[in-house]
Amino acid sequence: MAGAVAATTILVGVVGTPAWAQSPVPLGVAETYGVLAGQAVTDVPPPVGPSVINGDLGVWPGTSVTGAPVVNGATHVGDTEAMQAQADLTTAYNFAAAEPTTSTVGELGGQTLVAGVYTSPATMSLTGTVTLDGQNDPNSVFIFQAGSDLITAVDSRVSLVNGAQACNVFWQVSSSATLNTRTVFVGSILALQSATLGEGATVAGRVLARNGAVTLIHNTITRPFCAASIAPPTISKAFGAATIPADGTTSLSFTLTNPNVGTALTGVTFSDALPAGLVVATPNGLTGSCGGGTIAAGAGGGSISLSGATLPAGGSCRERPGRRRVGKRHGRRGGRRATDDRQGFR
C-alpha cells in the first residue's frame, strides 16, 4: 500500500525571515558614527548644550567642530578615517536611493507601516507619530526615500513595535533633514546636504550628512546595535517500523533541535496529523524530554501536539510516540506503510 505523509505544523516564540526580505543598507565604516558631516559639526554651547553623541563623530572634507559635544566614541576631523567614512556614506546613500519602491508616501504621521521601501517624490514630512511594525521579524528593514527634504514637526515621534529595530531603519534624504524640537526619531539619516536638530530632539540611529553641516542643540544621538538574529528550531520525525500490519502498532518519535548555540528557545509548539488510517494506540505510552512541554496524543485520535516546550541553547529534545504507539484502525486488511517525514518549522 502506498505510503501516506503526515502533515506537521510548528510554532515557536521566534519567527523566521519571510520569503521576501529587504536588505539593510550597507554603511561600511560609517556604521560606527553617530554624527558625520561634510563641512562642519556645530553644537550650541551651554547653558543650552552640550549634545551627547553615543558613537563616533567625524567631519570630512571640512575640519570644523564648533561647541563641545560629549562624544562617547572616537573623533575624526579631516583625517583618513573620516574620509573613508564619507566614501562609505556615499555608497550607502546610493544603495538606499536605488532600492525599488514599495509604496509612495508624503505625510507619515498617523500611519503604521510594515517593512518596505517608502518613497516621497518631494518633501517627506512627519507630524505626530509614525509606527513601524516589524511583524515579529527582528530583521525587518525600513527604507525611506525623500525626494527633497525630510522635516518633522515639534514633538513628532517614530515608534517601533513587534520586533522592529532602529538599526534597520534608514532615511535617504535628497536634500536636507530637519528634526524639530523634541522630536523622538529612530533610524539612520543619510542626507545629501545638511541635517539640523531642534532643541531636545533625540535620535536612536545616526545623523550623517554628505556635503553640508550637522547642527545640534542639546540633542542625544545614540548609534544603534542590532539584536542577534534567532534561528527557528528544526524537527525530524521517524516511525519505528516501515510497515504496520493490520491492527498492529509501531512507535513514532519527534526530535526537536535548537540551532542557536547561545540562546534557549521557549514556547515551542507543534502539531502533527497522522497519515490516513492510523490512530494513536491504547495505551499511548507517552514519553518525552522537552522541558516544560505538554504533549497531547489522545488514544484513538489522529493527531499529536506539543505546547509550551523549552529547548536548551544548541540542544535538542525528543517526544516519543515511540512508547506512544501508533496503531492501525481496526477492521481493515493488509499492512500500512509508515513514512518518515522530515519537515522544517513554519
Average pLDDT, the chain: 84
In the prediction, which pLDDT does 11 show? 40
Residue 287: per-residue pLDDT: 66
Q: Quick one: pLDDT at residue 306?
A: 81
Q: Is the pLDDT of residue 188 over 50?
A: yes
Strand pairing partners for 124? 150
Global model pTM greater than 0.85? no
Angle at 99 between CA 205 and CA 82, to 5 degrees: 45
Is residue 139 a contact partner of residue 22, using CB atoms and an 8 Å limit? no
- State the burial class of residue 27 (Cβ atoms within 10 Å of its Cβ: 0-12, 13-18, 19+): buried
Instruction: Check if the beta carbon of residue 106 is closer than 8 Å to that of residue 131.
Output: no
Task: Give CATH for domain 7-16+231-337.
Answer: 2.60.40.690
Distance CA 166, CA 224 (A): 6
Report whether pLDDT(329) > 60. no
pLDDT in tens, 263-304: 788 878 878 887 877 788 765 556 666 777 777 877 778 788
Distance of CA 62 to the CA centre of its chain: 36
SS3 259: coil
Mean pLDDT confidence for 224-234: 79
Neighbours of 226 (CB within 10 A): 12
251 has pLDDT over 90: no
Beta carbons of 131 and 157 less than 8 angstroms apart: no
Is the bond leading into 50 cis (omega within 30 degrees of zero)? yes
- Is the pLDDT at 202 greater than 90? The verdict is yes
Find the helix or strand (DSSP H, E) in which 64 lies.
strand 64-66
One-letter identity of residue 76:
H
How far, in Å, CA of 111 to CA of 176, rounded? 23
Sole residue written with cell 550637522 = 214
pLDDT band of 121, cuts 50, 70, 90: very high
Over 90: is that where the pLDDT of 318 sits? no
Please give the pLDDT value at position 55. Answer: 98
Mean pLDDT along residues 88-106: 97
Query: Binning pLDDT at 50, 70 and 90, where does residue 21 land?
Result: low
Lowest-confidence pick of 10-19, 189-198, 222-231, 280-289: 10-19
pLDDT tens-digit series, residues 44-58: 988 888 999 999 999
Q: Is 171 helix (H, G, I), strand (E, B) or coil?
A: strand
**What is the spatial distance between Cα 127 and Cα 245, in angstroms, rounded to a whole number?**
70
Q: Quickly list H helices, the chain.
A: 80-98
CB 323 within 8 A of CB 287: yes
pLDDT at 324: 35
Rounded Cα distance between 60 and 81, Å, is 9
The domain locations on the chain are: 7-16+231-337, 28-222
Rounded to whole angstroms, the Cα distance separating 295 from 271 reads 10
